[in-house]
């Protein structure tokens, strides 16, 4: 009898993580797969474009939950997903990353006694003010099989009392997708935005701690305008950030800071690959820049991905804008660290997950 594996995704950073796992499992005739999209992200440029570019199949089911408060969003996913699980009775559910969709789906499965695996387990920022940290802690406590991207993940899980037999260090699935699509990320995109390779910086900011407080957001934006006088900046704007800037009526006076719509995966990858530096508060981008060897300045006080600092090209600048400017100058002056690629970020994490799933479950 075919084994039935159901994958749950919901928000932009989930899509590049599910793609390699789904792809490898597709080659196994003994496995039937279902892809559920919770609808946490729904705009075409936050969702559809990724399905197309990553060659993901159309979701079999879209729960259509949309945006809401954390409680409402998480609860709506649970209510709708429980029906799917009761009807489909999958043999294993796989959840990805640390978004609200991840914890909601894991909790439904744990209560129904359906085995659930967490891809990207064990990461910890030790900052419970971050919604994602709560999602990570809870998900890892209630999942049956935990796939870690780096050894710090194993250490964190061991400290939290998770049975070592459930934990598998498989490497970084997001890097599988990056390696597969890198050849398609040409420098056409840099020309489209009127900048030259190595002569611009790329910015993304969407964390509530940076964008939900108008004073903080204003300080960050003013600093970016100053940095843009030295190095043109491209800033594809997350809908959360755009909304906040509109509410504040923020005006950009330096045209060297270009605000763009959210970009697709391949175009954004091309912009990362060709950038002189990246300024971000995203988790995934800290990893992608480390793989690509591009200096990354992270506007956060902590990271759940410490390997990007100890091994990769990442530096935490906190919310200290003077520090951000100093680090930009160090990079422009050629004084920044080189970094290397963390272990098992090799393009084969999806295969390792598939092997464990097929052999042990
Ligand atoms: C979510 C994840 C975060 C991840 C980010 C990537 C949680 C708790 N947070 O944050 O970990 O880094 O996705 O993007 O799960 N919106 C749109 N269109 C969309 C989606 C959202 O306009 O397609 C707007 C809505 O105004 C919404 C806001 O963005 O209220 C925030 O969306 P939400 O999914 O709640 O959180 P993100 O900030 O995207």
Summarised one tens digit per residue, pLDDT across range 63-87 is 999 999 999 999 999 999 999 999 9
> What's residue 189's pLDDT?
77
Q: What is the pLDDT of residues 246-263, one digit of tens each?
A: 999 999 999 999 999 999
Look at ligand 1, atom 3, and give the residue with the nearest C-alpha: 99
Cβ(167)–Cβ(131) under 8 Å? no
Catalogue the active-site residues.
Answer: 206
- Mean of the per-residue pLDDT values of the chain: 97
For residue 186, the surrounding DSSP H or E stretch is none
Q: Is 46 in the pocket of ligand 1 (CB under 6 A)?
A: yes
Q: Whose CA is nearest to atom 22 of ligand 1?
A: 239
Query: Which one, of 23, 37, 134, lies nearest residue 84 by Cα?
Result: 37
Task: Give me 288's structure tokens.
Answer: 């992608």
- For residues 325-349, average pLDDT: 97
Cα-to-centroid distance, 358 and ligand 1 (Å): 33
Using DSSP's 3-state secondary structure scheme, residue 265 falls into helix
Q: Check pLDDT > 70 for residue 1.
A: no
pLDDT tens across 110-130, in order?
Answer: 999 999 999 999 999 999 999
The 3-state DSSP composition of the chain as helix, strand, coil percent (nearest 5) reads 45, 15, 40
Say if ligand 1 is within 6 A of residue 212 CB.
Answer: no
13 within ligand 1 shell (Cβ under 6 A): yes
Question: What pTM, to 2 d.p., does this model score?
Answer: 0.97
Show the tokens assigned to 74. 């998480």
Residue to probe by mutation, ligand 1, list 72, 209, 239, 303, most atoms within 8 Å of CB: 239
- Evaluate if residue 174 carries a pLDDT over 90: yes
């Amino acid at each position: 009898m075919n084994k039935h594996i159901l994958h749950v995704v919901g928000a932009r950073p989930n899509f590049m993580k599910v793609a390699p796992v789904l792809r490898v499992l597709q080659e196994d005739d003994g496995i039937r797969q279902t892809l559920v999209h919770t609808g946490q992200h729904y705009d075409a440029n936050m969702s559809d474009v990724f399905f197309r570019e990553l060659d993901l199949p159309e979701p079999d089911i879209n729960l259509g939950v949309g945006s809401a408060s954390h409680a409402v969003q998480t609860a709506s996913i649970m209510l709708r997903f429980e029906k799917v699980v009761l009807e489909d009775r999958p043999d294993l559910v796989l959840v990805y990353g640390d978004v609200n969709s991840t914890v909601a789906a894991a909790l439904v499965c744990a209560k129904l006694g359906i085995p659930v695996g967490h891809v990207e387990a064990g990461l910890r920022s030790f900052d419970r003010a971050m919604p994602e940290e709560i999602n990570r802690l809870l998900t890892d406590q209630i999942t049956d099989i935990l796939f870690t991207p780096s050894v710090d993940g194993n250490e964190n899980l061991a400290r939290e009392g998770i049975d070592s037999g459930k934990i598998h260090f498989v490497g970084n699935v997001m890097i599988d997708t990056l390696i597969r699509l890198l050849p398609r990320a040409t420098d056409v995109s840099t020309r489209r935005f009127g900048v030259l390779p190595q002569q611009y910086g790329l910015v993304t900011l969407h964390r509530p701690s940076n964008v939900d407080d108008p004073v903080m957001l204003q300080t960050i934006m003013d600093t970016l305008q100053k940095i843009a006088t030295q190095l043109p900046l491209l800033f594809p704007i997350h809908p959360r950030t755009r909304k906040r800037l509109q509410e504040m009526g923020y005006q950009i006076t330096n045209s060297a800071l270009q605000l763009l719509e959210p970009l697709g995966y391949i175009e954004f990858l091309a912009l990362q690959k060709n950038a002189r530096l990246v300024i971000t508060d995203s988790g995934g981008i800290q990893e992608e820049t480390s793989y690509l060897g591009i200096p990354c300045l992270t506007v956060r006080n902590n990271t759940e991905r410490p390997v990007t600092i100890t091994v990769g090209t990442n530096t935490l600048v906190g919310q200290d804008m003077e520090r951000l400017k100093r680090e930009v100058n160090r990079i422009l002056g050629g004084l920044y660290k080189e970094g290397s690629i963390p272990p098992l970020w090799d393009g084969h994490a999806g295969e390792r997950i598939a092997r464990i799933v097929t052999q042990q479950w």
